[in-house]
Structures are given as C-alpha cells and as structure tokens.
C-alpha cells in the first residue's frame, strides 16, 4: 500500500512520455505526408490539433513535475498520485487518438509506432488501479465522505 502512490506517479510519467512521443511522431508524419498538393501539417485543422497536443503535453509535464517534487519531499499523498495517474493517462489517450487520426490509414497499421502505442497505452487506464478507482480516491479526499 505504501508504494502505491509511487506506482501511480510512474504510470502518470509514462502517460506524459508517450503523449510527447505521439506528438513527435505525428509532427514528423504530417510534415512529410502530402495530400491535395500540400503537407498534411499545413492544413489548418492539423495545425490546431497539433497545437492542442503540444499544449496538453506541456501541462502534463508540469503536473507530473509538481507530483515528483512532492514525492521527493515524502509528501505525495494517495489522492495527488491518483489525480496524476487518471488525468495523465486520459490525456495520453486523447493525444494518441488524435495522432492516429492525423496519420490516416497508416495510424492503424502496426508497423507505425503510433499504432502500437495506441494499443499499449490502453492498459495505463486499467493497471495500477483503474481510473474509476482513482476518481474514488480523489472524491473521498475532496468530499471527506467514504
């Protein structure tokens, strides 16, 4: 039980790292792929999605960093670790889904890292305690009710 916050923090770190990787794969792909005579990265829709992904990655790292500082001081509470675990893995999932979409058909082909990551990341919302249970832990702390 004592180690659960660290396990959950580490899953949150994985979420941020995979989210960042997904952003980088998607940037590379959309800059090199051409459709209708231009790079996919130059469509306004793609640019807006990439901006969302990049901003989410930055916020994830800031949130993770705060939790890591608390952990280093021995002050990472179960509810703070639960917040990091469920929030980062859900943002990770959204970024991966967007990345798959921007890869088009190749996003569904397992030779592409984004497709493998999309499958592998699914477990992040399950193991280490499901995200529903993480929300229970946070809800207990914020409401003061069991």
Q: How far is the CB of 120 from ligand FAD (least distance, A)?
A: 10
Q: How far is the CB of 117 from ligand FAD (least distance, A)?
A: 15
Backbone angles phi, psi at 35, to 5 degrees: -145, 140
Contact present, 77 and 141 (Cβ < 8 Å): yes
Q: In Å, how far are 23, 45, 72, 94, 138 from 141, measured between CA atoms? A: 33, 40, 22, 26, 5
The H helix count followed by the E strand count for the chain is: 5, 2
Q: How far is the CB of 129 from ligand FAD (least distance, A)?
A: 5
Comparing CB distances to ligand FAD, the nearer of 39 and 142 is 142
Comparing CB distances to ligand FAD, the nearer of 99 and 129 is 129
Q: Which residues bind ligand FAD (CB under 6 A)?
A: 123, 126-130, 132-133, 136
Q: Which residues are designated catalytic?
A: 7
Comparing CB distances to ligand FAD, the nearer of 4 and 70 is 4
């Amino acid at each position: 039980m004592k180690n659960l916050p660290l396990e959950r923090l580490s899953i949150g770190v994985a979420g941020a790292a995979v989210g960042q990787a997904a952003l980088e794969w998607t940037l590379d792909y959309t800059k090199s792929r051409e459709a209708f005579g231009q790079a996919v990265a130059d469509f306004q829709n793609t640019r807006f999605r990439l901006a969302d992904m990049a901003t989410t990655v930055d916020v994830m790292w800031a949130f993770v960093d705060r939790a890591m500082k608390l952990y280093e001081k021995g002050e990472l509470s179960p509810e703070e670790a639960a917040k990091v675990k469920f929030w980062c893995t859900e943002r990770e999932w959204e970024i991966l889904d967007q990345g798959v979409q921007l890869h088009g058909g190749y996003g569904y082909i397992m030779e592409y890292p984004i497709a493998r990551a999309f499958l592998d990341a699914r477990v992040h919302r399950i193991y280490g305690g499901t995200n529903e249970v993480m929300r229970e832990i946070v809800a207990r702390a914020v409401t003061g009710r069991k």
